[in-house]
Structure 1
């Protein structure tokens, strides 16, 4: 399976608390809910299209708990594709604190996460998708395990919050494979790894 990362970013790279004020207050973050003004039908269609490619999900503990508190209780009439995929497909949770996961088809990964993910990627099937899960994503980026980045960049600057490409991220070059400016101002960008960055001088 290919490992893909889908996440929402502000223009200054923040991915924390996109869906609501109380979603993620770690480090005193008070700006949650910043994607809501831009969450139109076009953005929803793009996210749904990506979900149709899922063969399973890889989630960090925090994102898992947010999803598990919502999606099992959503009827098929609301976001049917996303609900069907999240409720029906395997979910693998990377956590050092969870001992079990109650949401159906969920498994807590044991041992080294990178080793477990390498094993999952060797299995046949469609995409293994990460959604959000910043701590997990940053760890797997450092191990070179993410095959595709799908970034929904929103026209807002937050100035605070946890970032996807935080200080200390392993340097990497990416190749843009798709870029669409949506009517809300959100820009959907898809990248694949392109090795180490090149440097020069003018």
Structure 2
């Protein structure tokens, strides 16, 4: 049975909207597009590369797919060449209610029944990664349709913007997979596995 990985860059207050650039996602008047760039360093880059080992499929929301499809097919050489080779080679699946023009090779639109589509992906691929795709990620959180959650948490506060854990999150148990790792510029990498059940409660006042 394959695993569904969610990979996100987030601020300390949970904002994950548009880390890569000003034009990525300005929905809601978001004014901090590209907030990750000043805090990017080689350690984060190395962690990202390591996290892609074994990836054999991408699962993306429509907005992120359109951004990726306009960028990665044109990055065959240079510093992003190895990522481009991987992304261009593996199958891409897109969650979209609208009509999709699969301009990026090896692209398939996900079926309307998200739970059934995810079950099929688990049968077909070992490691399917969801990158960005904040609106779609809320659907995965709400339905507990993921197995791993990787967060790069950056030491800034933005106050507004799309949050990693928005209103659709349901109570869920997570297990930290090994110690967190920090970069020189303060990004903290955390790997979690989703576990069954709901968070327990107790009474710390009991003697």
Contact 1:52–1:85 (Cα < 8 Å) also in 2: no
Quick one: distance in 2 between partners of 1:191 and 1:23?
26
**Number of residues paired by the alignment?**
201
Contact 1:100–1:108 (Cα < 8 Å) also in 2: no
TM-score (norm 2): 0.93
Corresponding residue number in structure 2 for 1:35: 36
Corresponding residue number in structure 2 for 1:60: 61
Corresponding residue number in structure 1 for 2:199: 197
Q: CA RMSD in A?
A: 1.2
Quick one: distance in 2 between partners of 1:197 and 1:80?
42
Q: How does 1:1-202 map to 2 (within 5 A)?
A: 1-123=2-124, 125-178=125-178, 179-194=180-195, 195-202=197-204
Listed one character per residue, the Cα deviations across residues 158-188 of structure 1 (whole Å, up to 9, x for unaligned) are 0000011013411112111131111110000
TM-score (norm 1): 0.95
Quick one: distance in 2 between partners of 1:159 and 1:80?
35
Quick one: distance in 2 between partners of 1:77 and 1:21?
22
Larger gyration radius, structure 1 or structure 2: 2
> What is the CA-CA distance between 1:136 and the residue it aligns to?
1.3
> What is the CA-CA distance between 1:189 and the residue it aligns to?
0.2
Listed one character per residue, the Cα deviations across residues 36-92 of structure 1 (whole Å, up to 9, x for unaligned) are 011111111111111222101000001101111111111233222211111110000
Identify which range, 163-172 or 73-82, moves more after superposition.
Answer: 73-82
Listed one character per residue, the Cα deviations across residues 13-38 of structure 1 (whole Å, up to 9, x for unaligned) are 01001011121001111111110011
Identify which range, 5-14 or 92-101, moves more after superposition.
Answer: 92-101
Runs of 5+ consecutive residues of structure 2 not aligned to the other structure: none
Change (3 A) 1:177 1:64: same
> What is the CA-CA distance between 1:198 and the residue it aligns to?
1.2
> What is the CA-CA distance between 1:106 and the residue it aligns to?
0.7
Runs of 5+ consecutive residues of structure 1 not aligned to the other structure: none
Identify which range, 24-33 or 164-173, moves more after superposition.
Answer: 164-173
> What is the CA-CA distance between 1:110 and the residue it aligns to?
2.4
Contact 1:29–1:161 (Cα < 8 Å) also in 2: yes
Contact 2:176–2:191 (Cα < 8 Å) also in 1: yes
